[in-house]
């Protein structure tokens, strides 16, 4: 089926384009509201700047497809293949991306507020500047994902994988990272006010210049973590492992380190002498 066939049928009121082979088709800048492309082969298709609210891409193959700046609010991509797809600047408020496979995709500056991304494979995805406020990311794979400046406030992140994730300058206030494996994760300059990291593994994590006011690190593993120039007003580190932590004395004056493991701290321990 060619593009003129699809557009003609759409104008006639037809919306079901299920299971079609539309490899490389160019729908850029068209209006395709409520269309159903479920189970279709859309590899390399061009949907840039296309208006596709409430479209259905369930189980579709969108490998290397171009959806840059597309309007996708309310669209369903459940179990779709978006490997290496381009979604920069796309608008996907309330989109359903449950169990989507998007490894290596570029989603920088995408708007996925209130979207469902549970069990999604987003490993290696570029999410720089993305809006994921109130998104559902439970059990999603965000390993080695670039999330610089991402907005995640209010998101559900239970059992989410953050191995090697870059969250520098991200907006993460109030999020619950309790018990997670976050070794080596980059939180530098991130907003983490009121965040909870109880019993999390944060070995060698980077919190340099992060805003951590009222955050909770009780029982956290923080050996080798970097807190240089971080803001730690009323942060709680009771029973945390703080061995070889890099920090600045002035930033720990009102932090609670009662019962923290300080062995091998050396000069750093002396710098913490005035901490609460």
Q: What is the pLDDT of residues 15-73, one digit of tens each?
A: 999 999 999 999 999 999 999 999 999 999 999 999 999 999 999 999 999 999 999 99
Sign for the pseudo-dihedral over CA of 222, 223, 225, 230: positive
Structure tokens at 87: 């979604």
pTM value > 0.85 = yes
Task: Determine the pLDDT at residue 273.
Answer: 40
The string of pLDDT tens digits covering residues 197-210 is 999 999 999 999 99
CA distance 81 to 120: 10
Task: Determine the pLDDT at residue 250.
Answer: 57
Query: Mean pLDDT across the chain, nearest whole number?
Result: 93
3-state secondary structure (DSSP) of residue 9: helix
Mean pLDDT of 125-133: 99
pLDDT score of 245 more than 70: yes
Residue among 2, 47, 44 at smallest CA distance from 20: 2
Structure tokens at 132: 């994921």
Chain-centroid distance, C-alpha 196: 17
In sequence order, what E strands does the chain have? none
End-to-end CA distance of the chain: 71
Task: Determine the pLDDT at residue 262.
Answer: 67
């Amino acid at each position: 089926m060619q593009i003129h066939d699809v557009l003609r049928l759409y104008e006639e009121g037809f919306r079901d384009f299920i299971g079609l082979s539309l490899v490389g088709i160019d729908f850029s800048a068209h209006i395709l509201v409520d269309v159903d492309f479920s189970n279709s082969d859309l590899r390399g298709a061009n949907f840039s700047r296309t208006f596709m609210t409430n479209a259905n891409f369930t189980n579709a193959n969108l490998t290397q497809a171009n959806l840059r700046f597309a309007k996708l609010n309310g669209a369903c991509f459940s179990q779709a293949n978006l490997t290496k797809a381009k979604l920069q600047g796309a608008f996907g408020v309330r989109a359903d991306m449950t169990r989507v496979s998007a490894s290596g995709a570029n989603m920088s500056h995408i708007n996925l507020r209130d979207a469902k991304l549970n069990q999604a494979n987003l490993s290696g995805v570029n999410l720089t500047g993305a809006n994921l406020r109130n998104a559902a990311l439970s059990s999603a794979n965000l390993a080695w994902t670039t999330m610089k400046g991402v907005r995640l406030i209010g998101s559900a992140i239970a059992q989410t994988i953050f191995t090697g994730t870059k969250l520098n300058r991200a907006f993460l206030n109030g999020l619950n990272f309790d018990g997670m494996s976050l070794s080596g994760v980059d939180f530098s300059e991130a907003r983490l006010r009121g965040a909870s990291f109880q019993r999390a593994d944060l070995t060698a994590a980077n919190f340099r210049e992060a805003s951590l006011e009222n955050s909770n690190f009780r029982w956290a593993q923080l050996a080798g973590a970097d807190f240089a120039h971080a803001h730690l007003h009323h942060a709680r580190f009771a029973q945390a492992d703080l061995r070889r932590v890099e920090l600045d004395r002035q930033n720990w004056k009102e932090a609670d380190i009662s019962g923290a493991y300080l062995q091998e701290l050396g000069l750093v321990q002396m710098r913490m002498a005035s901490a609460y």
